[in-house]
Each structure stands twice: as structure tokens, then as C-alpha cells.
Structure 1
Amino acid sequence: MKALTIRQPWAGAIAHLGKRVENRSWKLPAKQHGARILIHAGAQPDKNATVNGPQLDVFGAVVGIATTRDCHWSDDGTCCGPWGFANSYHWTLTDVAALHEPVPATGALGFWTPNADVLGAVLRQVEVPQ
């Protein structure tokens, strides 16, 4: 299972506020379509974001788990509700589950492989759909 580092407050919004799209400048890799991924809150916040809510102040930890469903380009961002950005790829997410306790981890750019301890701590908190 791979992990994806996302800056706060966006990682927390996926896990806790119903955000079901991840905006990226690059296409979702074909091998990640339909994959279960860990949502990792990066060490640095997005200084331009103004979202407030629970668990948005957690940094450097896995905060949730999701399944990547689809990827499409959006010129205006309106296709994915209030969370979609214009001129970006929208990765749609399903089966999102927030962790009760964030799992500390060091992230990386792109998709990365969590170590066995991190993965085990996450999987103990969620039931992974088959």
C-alpha cells in the first residue's frame, strides 16, 4: 500500500470534512487507479488555505486512508463541488476513513511506501475493504 503526502488543511479535510477530491498538477498514475492509499499530512501547511476544522493542525502523520477512484482534468474546477480547483487534475476518492489516532511518519513527494510499523499502526485502526 502506498501513501500520499498532502499539505494541511487539505489532508485533514479529506479525513474529516468530506473533501473527496485531491487537486494535482499531474495525472494519477494508472497503477494507482482503484488503489487503497494512506493520507499523510505533510510537515508544512498550505499557507494559502483557509479551511478550519478538527485535526487540521496535525503535521507529519498519517491521518486517514482512501481509495482512488478516478482522475480527470478540470478547466474551471466546478465539477467536484467546492473542493475542486481550476486548471488541475482531480483525483476522486472513495471509502475514506479517518484514523482515531494520527500515525507519525515522514512523508515524501509523490507516492511513497510506508514502513511496516506505520502501515501496521494504520491498519489496526481501520478495516480495509476487500
Structure 2
Amino acid sequence: MKALTIRQPWAGAIAHQTKRVENRTWKLPAKHEGARILIHAGAQLDRNAQIYGPHLGVYAAVVAVATITGCHWSDDGTCCGPWGFERAYHWTLDDVIALTTPVPAKGALGFWTPSDDVLAAVQRQVALERTSP
């Protein structure tokens, strides 16, 4: 399973709100469409973001798991509601599971491979989430 680092507050908005699109300047590689990925909160805040919330205290940690369901280009950003940016590739996300306890990890640019320890800690939480009432 791969991970994707996303700056806060965007990673938190994916994990705990309704953000179901990730805006990127590059097209999603076809091999990642349909893939389950870890959502990693980067070590830095996106200072241009206008959304703030309690999730801002989590940095350099995996905060959720999601499935990338597609990718499309948008000139005006309106296709994906308030989360879509203009002149960007929109990577659509589904089946998002927020982790109860963020898992500390060092991120990287692009898709990256988490350590076995990080992956195991995430998988334990996801298994618990799926079996709890």
C-alpha cells in the first residue's frame, strides 16, 4: 500500500470532513486508480488555506485511509464543489476511514511506501474500525 503526503488542513479535511478530492498539478498515474492509499498529514501547514479546525495539531502522521476512484482535469474547479481548485487535476477519493490515533511517519513527495511498522499500525486501526458497531 502506498501513502500520499498532503499538507494540513487538507489532510484533516479528507479524514474528518467532506473533502473527497485531492487537487494536484500532475495527472494520477493509471496504476494508482482504484488503489487504497494512506493519507499522510505533512509536516507543514498550507499557509494559503482558509479552513481551520482542530485537526491542525496533527502533523507528520498518517491520519486516514482512502481509495482513489478517478482523476480528471478541471479548468474552473466547479465540478468537485468547494474543494476543487481551478486548473488542476482532481483525484477523487472514496471509502475514507479516519484513524482514531494518527500514526507518526515521515512523508515524502509523490507516492511513497510506508514502513512495515507504520502499515501494521494503520491496518490494526482500520480492522478495529470495520468491526466496531
Q: TM-score range by the shorter chain?
A: over 0.9
- Identity across matched positions, percent: 74
Equivalent positions of 1:1-130 (< 5 A) are 1-127=1-127
Give the gaps of 5 or more residues in structure 2: none
Distance across 1 between alignment mates of 2:50 and 2:81: 17
Worse-matched range after superposition: 102-111 or 120-129: 120-129
Q: What is the aligned length?
A: 129
Give the letter for the 1:112 counterpart.
Answer: W
Q: Which residues of structure 1 form unaligned runs of 5+?
A: none
SS of residue in 1 equivalent to 2:50: coil
1:44-96 deviation digits (Å, cap 9, x = unpaired): 11010021223232100000000000000000000000000000000000000
Whole-angstrom CA distance in 1 between matches of 2:65 and 2:17: 14
Counterpart residue identity of residue 67, structure 2: T
Q: Which has the higher helix share?
A: 2
Q: CA RMSD in A?
A: 1.3
Aligned equivalents of 2:58, 2:29: Cα separation in 1: 27
Runs of 4+ off more than 3 Å = none
Query: SS of the counterpart of 1:124?
Result: helix
